[in-house]
A and B are shown apart, each in its own frame.
Chain A
């Protein structure tokens, strides 16, 4: 199983959210390909030394978000149908959280919407320079 997930149980972020975020990131990056099988709930719980019900909860939410699908008796797989859609959804979810946090932080230290927009477009220009 090539999935390399790590969780930080001592973080204030619930463990099941950490698992969800990392699976989405792996799907977005193609580390987890469409159709690829995820570890069983028990296996991932033992690999990460975390509660099995926590893993099961993360898998249920990933299934609801359309990132994985579970075949009874066979296991959980990265959604195969429309894999580009799945990848993009997963990437969007991860990026949205990061951008939300950055905007919230900028607002909290007194920046106005226009200031933040200017910063955001400057950042986009810098990171997408070669695409221009």
Chain B
């Protein structure tokens, strides 16, 4: 079992609030994608999870218990920036890991490094950004850890090696490991992750199961009889997250039950009704759009 619970996590650096009241759970054996704009607090969250940064308040619990040194034995971490020693060869890094961890699988590490086409004799300083990422990913996977925390594990990699890393994540999940990873490439998260959390300016903007989010979040589009037509009763509709109105065209973003929202528009006399699917990128962009801009849109709709 490796369920990770993040509860009311807050981390400040002086006056700067990096992470603010973050609460979500990463279920056992889940591939969990952490999304957010640059500087949203993803790396800080990872550091708090690993004890590399001390939370200002709140907690991170592993199967209900706080982080202890034995927990770290079960976690493999790939940081966003290279932590390889410039003067050491890949082979020396491998040896260092073997000595550091009881469970390190040397044969697996060699196999993975070969798959990435990494020359063991090369010093870290001779590796490209992508090859450094690949080296760290290979060494982390060879730990055969219960939990993998991967901060931008495809950063700098070519599309073939990006796909390879995704398949390694999937393989780790299939053997029962819990994987949490961040990526700016939403398409990768859309493929590999079962659940996601979106962090924006340190706060949780959205969290859920990817397939359920796609099933629930739709755009219902309708043509109204006139530009001044009043949308009575839709202002307080709990299924509608946002209404955009341009002339006679109205678009409602739903949190669930798009068909029900569509029926309501129809009952009001709207025509041209259709339901438009949203992909994860659309859903992400909505979640991180400034809240006050959304409020303005709703205000303009003459509800």
Contacts and interface: CB of A to CB of B under 8 A. Distances in A.
Interface in B190-235: 190-194, 210-212, 214-215, 218
Contacts of A53: 29-31, 173, 194
Contacts of A75: none
A16 interface: yes
B281 A54 contact: no
Given A9-B191, A10-B279, A110-B271, A46 B31 contact: no
A12 B282 contact: yes
B187 interface: yes
B288 interface: no
B278 A12 contact: yes
Contact of A50 (B170, B274, B280): B170
Interface residues of B, number: 33
Contacts of B174: 41-42, 45-46, 52
Contacts of A14: 210-212, 214-215
- Interface residues of chain A: helix, strand, loop or mixed (majority): helix
Interface in B261-303: 271-274, 276-282
A105 interface: yes
Interface secondary structure of B, over-half rule: helix
Nearest to B189: A9
Contacts of B122: none
Contact of B191 (A13, A16, A51, A107): A51
Contacts of A16: 211
Contacts of B282: 12
B29 to A, nearest CB: 8
A17 B192 CA distance: 16
A108 B278 CA distance: 20
A51 B279 contact: no
Interface size class of A (residues with CB under 8 A): 20 to 34
A49 B211 contact: no
Given A16-B211, A45-B174, A51-B173, A9 B278 contact: no
B171 interface: yes
Contacts of B273: 107-108
B167 interface: yes
A50 B191 CA distance: 5
A57 interface: yes
A45 B273 CA distance: 36
A54 B191 CA distance: 10
B54 interface: no
A11 B170 contact: no
B170 to A, nearest CB: 5
A109 interface: yes
A94 interface: no
A110 B278 CA distance: 25
A16 B278 CA distance: 15
Interface string A83-125: 0000000000000000000001101111000000000000000
A51 B194 contact: yes
Contacts of B212: 14
B187 to A, nearest CB: 6
A13 B187 contact: no
Contact of A54 (B163, B171, B187, B211): B211
A49 B169 CA distance: 10
B190 A12 contact: no
B190 A9 contact: yes
Given A12-B278, A15-B191, A51-B191, 17 more contacts: A9-B190, A9-B191, A11-B279, A12-B276, A12-B277, A13-B277, A14-B212, A46-B170, A49-B163, A49-B191, A50-B170, A51-B173, A51-B192, A53-B173, A53-B194, A109-B272, A110-B272
